[in-house]
Amino acid sequence: MTSTPSRNYQQIPVLGTGGTISCTHSPEGDLVPTLTCADIVNQARIPQGFQALPHDIMSIDSSSITLPQIDELVAHIANFCSPTPAGIVVLHGTDTMEESALAAACALDLPCPVVFTGAQRPGDDAAPDGPANLSRAFAALASGELSTGVHLVFGDAILPARGAYKAHTTAETAFRNALIDSGKHDDGSPSPDGTVLPPLQVAGLYVPIVSTFAGDDGQLIRALREQNKRQPDTQVGTEVGAVDGLVLAAMGSGNIPTAVAEELEAWRAERTTELPVVVCSRVPTGGVSFVYGGTGGGAQLARAGFRSGGAMRPSQARIELLYELARAR
C-alpha cells in the first residue's frame, strides 16, 4: 500500500503506462486497461521508509506504442529525475518493455535507478502477479544494490535493460538477457554527472526490422527500396516513410540469402545518403559472428559495411540504431 507522506520518506515516482498489469476482463472476456497506477500501488508492499507516488502517464496496450509515445515516456522519466529521487518505477506492458526500457537508457544520462516492471496476468486474475512484481521492484530499489541506469525487475529476475528480451509468453519470469546469456554483458551505462539533459527524440525516424527466411527472394527489401525512391533521403527523418536505417533478423551467425544481399547492395548503391544496416540473428542466444563467405555470408556482409548486432535481439538493436540516428540529425 502507499505510505503515509513524511519528509523522512524516500519518494519513488511510479509511472503507469497500461499493459497487462493494469488490465481486467471486459464483459466480453477481453483484457482491457481499467486499473489506475494508484490502484496497483495500493495492492503492493512498499518497504518501510519509502513512499510511492503514482502517476498515470498513458493507458495503452504496449504492442501499440509509437515512437512519439516512447519520446513522451522518456520525457516524463527525465522530468521525475529532478530533484533526484531514490529511484523511478515504470509499469509497462511486456510486449515492448524491452524497447521502452532501452529507449530510456539510450536517451537519458540517469542520476538514479529506473526499474521497469509489469505483469503476465491481469489484475482480476485469481493470482495476479503485478502487485508482487511491483513489490519486487521496490525491494530492489530499497536494497541499494541497483546501479544508476535502467533495469527490468520481473518475477525472479533483475536484469539490465540493455540485452533484455521477452523469452516466454506466460511464465512469471518472462524476461532474459541475451548479452548475459552469451557472456557478453556490458550495460553501456555512462557515469552520470547529476545533470539531466533534454532527452533525445526518435519520432519521425523509420527503422524497420526485416526477417530473412529460407527461399527469401528479396521481395521485402525490394518493396522498401521502391518506397524509399518516392521519399527524399537528403536529410535523415525528414519524410515519413523514408527508410533511415535497417535491422536484419538474419539466419544463424549472421547470414542472409544471396537474393537479399544483392537487393540490399543495389539499394545502398543508388542512395545519396548512407543506409546503416545492423545484422542480428534470429537465433535467441550466441550472437552474430561474421565468418561465412559468399554473397550473403557474414564475412562478405562485414566487408560491405554491414554492422554486427552482436548478441542483441533485433528489437533492441533497432532502438539503439534509432538513437544513433537521433544524435546525428
pLDDT in tens, the chain (329 residues): 544 444 568 999 999 999 999 999 999 999 999 999 999 999 999 999 999 999 999 999 999 999 999 999 999 999 999 888 999 999 999 999 999 999 999 999 999 999 999 999 999 999 999 999 999 999 999 999 998 999 999 999 999 999 999 999 999 999 999 999 988 765 544 444 445 567 899 999 999 999 999 999 999 999 999 988 766 554 544 445 689 999 999 999 999 999 999 999 999 999 988 999 999 999 999 999 999 999 999 999 999 999 999 999 999 999 999 999 999 98
Confirm or deny that 94 is annotated as ligand binding: yes
Query: Domain locations in the chain?
Result: 10-182, 209-328
Confirm or deny that 30 is annotated as ligand binding: no
CA distance 58 to 61: 10
Query: Fold match between 10-182 and 209-328?
Result: yes
Confirm or deny that 62 is annotated as ligand binding: yes
Query: What separation, in Å, do the N-terminal and C-terminal C-alpha atoms of the chain show?
Result: 45
Q: What pTM value is reported for the model?
A: 0.91
Pick the CATH number of 209-328 from 3.40.50.40, 2.170.190.11, 3.40.50.2020, 3.30.750.24: 3.40.50.40
- State the burial class of residue 173 (Cβ atoms within 10 Å of its Cβ: 0-12, 13-18, 19+): middle
Q: Which of 2, 4, 17, 20 is catalytic?
A: 20
Phi, psi of 13 (to 5 degrees): -65, 135
Q: Which of 24, 34, 94, 148 is catalytic?
A: 94
CA dihedral 34, 25, 89, 203 (to 10 degrees): -70
Q: What is the pLDDT of residue 183?
A: 83
Q: Looking at domain 10-182, what is its CATH homologous superfamily? A: L-asparaginase, N-terminal domain (3.40.50.1170)
CB atoms within 10 A of CB 79: 12
Whether 94 is catalytic: yes
